[in-house]
Amino acid sequence: MTSFVKKAALLIDTWIERFVLTALASMTIIVTLQVFTRKLFNFVFFWSEEVTILLLVWFSFLGIAIGFREQLHMAMDALTNKFPPAVNRILDKVIHAVTFLFGVYLIVYGWDFTKIMHESILPATGLPNSLTYVVMPITGVLTCFYAAIQFFGMETRRHKGMMEVAE
């Protein structure tokens, strides 16, 4: 079972990372193109700002999930480093539980907000405004998944060596 979960998580993670990198590259190209066409030809693509914002929102929210997976979010461990390992293990479980609850919050309220915004249309592209917000429950599901498997001791980090070194 553990092997299946790891393989499924790896496949999902790979697709998410590819999407995030594609979104970042696309944002860079669109904004660069927008600046050049505005400065050189006094012309701006009508859709460029909307698409860039949409990609930025998706990039940011999926980055939150990747940050939880890689355990990259900020932690203040000056105090907890003085605790015995058993206390730190308990604190880690509490952190994973709170992270799970944050994921549930994103699922519930993100889905509600997505439904509310579905009737609204983005003016330049004509896409439903809910497309901007549906990433919230997706991030919530991913965050819950990562928090749950971290709670039970499974390693979720794919990119080793990214942790800061204490001085």
Question: Using one digit for the tens of pLDDT, what is the confidence trace for 71-111?
Answer: 887 777 778 888 888 988 898 899 999 999 999 999 999 99
For CA atoms 4, 5, 6, 9, give the dihedral sign: positive
143 has a pLDDT exceeding 50: yes
Quick one: pLDDT at residue 157? 72
Structurally, how many domains does the chain consist of? 1
**Could you tell me if residue 161 is inside a domain?**
no
Question: Using one digit for the tens of pLDDT, what is the confidence trace for 30-64?
Answer: 999 999 999 999 998 999 999 999 999 999 999 99
163 has a pLDDT exceeding 60: no
166 has a pLDDT exceeding 70: no
pTM for the predicted model, two decimal places: 0.85
Q: Name the nearest CA neighbour of 88 among 77, 98, 101.
A: 77
DSSP string, 42-102: S---TTHHHHHHHHHHHHHHHHHHHHHHHT-S----TTGGGS-HHHHHHHHHHHHHHHHHH
Range of the domain at 67: 2-151
**Could you tell me if residue 31 is inside a domain?**
yes
**Could you tell me if residue 91 is inside a domain?**
yes
